Structure 1
Amino acid sequence: MAARTKARKRALELLFEAEQRGVNVGTLLEERIAAPTTQHPLPEYAVQLVRGVLEHWGEINETLTTYSQGWSLERMAAVDRAALRLGTWEIVWNDQVPDGVAISEAVALVQDMSTDDSPRFVNGLLARVLEIKPTLV
């Protein structure tokens, strides 16, 4: 598995865990940086991803809510929400990752970790984010 793919998975797990435990994502991130819970510390790209999502949290959530066509953030599967937040940040605010790669990676995450319908849903919503990207930056 490529280093950035692993980092995306770790970032998704952190976002998911914070939501499930009802704790602040930023606080959990700083705890994991200071005292990793595995023998491997968080990859730097995972930290960058989570910090990027946190920095643009409101904008990301507003975008996903606006373009998800009938699906509120609360109705989405938690894993899908986390993957969509990561994918949106990579598409809109990270110029170092090709947009198609960001979408493919988000789809692969939910394919492995969420429902059978999730890959199509995540692909469609992130494709819409890509279409409107010029209006978001």
Structure 2
Amino acid sequence: MNRHKAREKAFQILFQLDINDNDPKVAIQEFLEIEEADQFLTDLVEGVTTNKNNIDQIIGDHLENWSLERIASVEKTILRIAAFEMTYLEDIPAGVSINEAVELGNTYGDDKSGKFINGVLSKIIA
């Protein structure tokens, strides 16, 4: 599984976890069914889940005229994945994390999601 696909699957799993409080390992197994979990996918899901409070603080500190509670679940989940990558995974350039997040936003969010995600993440790395 390539990293783009892993991010997409991690987004879907984390989105479900945001709605239904479940164990991350169980959620990964249930989502993938017979497919084997990729290590990067597992790192993203477990990393975001474990560090959610810190990640939310980082995102919240870089929002202008918004609060984390007002952000739709799609955008919030994508921001959490990208913020986790930029904060905890040193082998991924921030630009790659931002581009992947914008792409996910354009795919799963509305027509303004990608631009919003790009703005928030750009402030985090500034």
Q: Which amino acid aligns with 1:99?
A: A
Provide the C-alpha distance between the structure 1 equivalents of 2:65 and 2:56, rounded to a whole number of angstroms: 14
1:7-18 matches, cutoff 5 A: 7-18=6-17
CA RMSD of aligned residues (A): 1.7
Aligned 8 A contact 1:36 1:42 in 2:
no
TM-score for both structures, normalised by structure 1: 0.84
Aligned to 2:60: 65
Q: Secondary structure at the match of 2:59?
A: helix
Show structure 1 runs of 5+ residues with no match. 132-137
TM-score scaled by length of structure 2: 0.90
Return the alpha-carbon distance in structure 1 between the equivalents of residues 117 and 38 of structure 2.
24
Q: How does 1:5-84 map to 2 (within 5 A)?
A: 5-21=4-20, 23-24=21-22, 27=23, 29-34=24-29, 37-84=32-79
Instruction: Name the count of aligned residue pairs.
Output: 126
Q: 2:100, 2:8 → 1: CA distance?
A: 9
For the Cα contact (< 8 Å) 1:10–1:42, is it kept in 2? no
1:55 offset after TM fit, Å?
Answer: 2.9
Q: Distance in 2 between matches of 1:83 and 1:17?
A: 13
Distance 1:36 1:16, change over 3 A: closer
Mark the runs of 5 or more structure 2 residues left unpaired by the alignment.
Answer: none
The percent identity for this pair of structures is 30
Displaced runs of 4 or more, over 6 A: none
